[in-house]
Homo-oligomer: A and B are copies of this chain.
């Protein structure tokens, strides 16, 4: 064990497992354990601190719950590396202007070592649920086109996105195709005569459901950001609702808005 860890302090009122967790946390914070580094194994901790296995495990459990480390079965526990995808709200739609968007995007990509991608795309049509209907200004049960997809960064899933578009807007356009063409569905909506006016995003954070944890391959203790975006055309009609769930460790959202 290269990092030096103090012994459990009897005088310390904190329980041993917290002291051990704090020592490891401190080692990470000070950079003695960098991203990707391997923590001491359970038995090393047992030997070093003279505690039971479950006690060492509980310390590691705490760090996992904080999202600071990731356990890999049969390999060890590793400090999480934090690749952050930083996205400015306005930039996220810059791709409508194809060339400019591509340039801005790849520049951003280079900066953070981000290689984008989509897998698991599905396009279906179904009746609107009450949540979607309310946001789109439809009646419950009205037909909507649903585009469900998963985004990857560096080969790892980081976001799921489900778009809902009123079926009468989407039918007969590339919106119902797998490949929506240059500029994506927003460009197709504008082609169809719906000039986009503004977006509303609702941002929340919470722990993932088991389903979400599976879909995003999240380990214990990683929260998700839920971003529900509603797009309105210039007449104020809601033309799309996009419900995204992002792995929190992979995103910093940026919003720029005027005073007053």
Residue of B201, B202, B205, B259 touching A223 (CB-CB under 8 A): B205
A49 at the interface (CB under 8 A from B): no
A252 at the interface (CB under 8 A from B): yes
- Report the bound CA distance from A253 to B222 in whole Å: 20
Task: Give the oligomeric copy count.
Answer: 2
Q: Are A248 and B205 neighbours in the complex by a CB distance under 8 Å?
A: yes
Residue of B93, B223, B256 touching A200 (CB-CB under 8 A): B256
Q: Are A93 and B210 neighbours in the complex by a CB distance under 8 Å?
A: no
User: What mask results when residues 229 to 260 of chain A are scored 1 for a CB within 8 Å of chain B, else 0?
Assistant: 00100000000000000001101111111111
Inter-chain contacts of A203 with B (CB < 8 A):
203, 225, 252-255
Q: Are A259 and B197 neighbours in the complex by a CB distance under 8 Å?
A: yes
Q: Are B254 and A202 neighbours in the complex by a CB distance under 8 Å?
A: yes
Inter-chain contacts of A111 with B (CB < 8 A):
none
Residue of B22, B186, B208, B257 touching A89 (CB-CB under 8 A): B257
A129 at the interface (CB under 8 A from B): no
Q: Are B248 and A199 neighbours in the complex by a CB distance under 8 Å?
A: no
Q: Are B207 and A67 neighbours in the complex by a CB distance under 8 Å?
A: yes
A209 CB, min distance to chain B CBs, angstroms: 8
Q: A203 — nearest CB in chain B belongs to which residue?
A: B253
- Report the bound CA distance from A251 to B90 in whole Å: 23
- Report the bound CA distance from A223 to B204 in whole Å: 10
A232 CB, min distance to chain B CBs, angstroms: 8
- Report the bound CA distance from A152 to B96 in whole Å: 42
Inter-chain contacts of A186 with B (CB < 8 A):
259
A54, A224, A254: residue with the most chain B Cβ atoms closer than 10 Å: A254
Inter-chain contacts of A22 with B (CB < 8 A):
210
Known: A65-B207, A205-B251, A223-B223. 11 other contacts (CB 8 A): A90-B260, A93-B259, A197-B259, A201-B254, A201-B255, A201-B256, A201-B257, A204-B253, A205-B224, A206-B249, A256-B257
Known: A205-B224, A206-B223, A248-B223. A198 touches B254 (CB 8 A): no
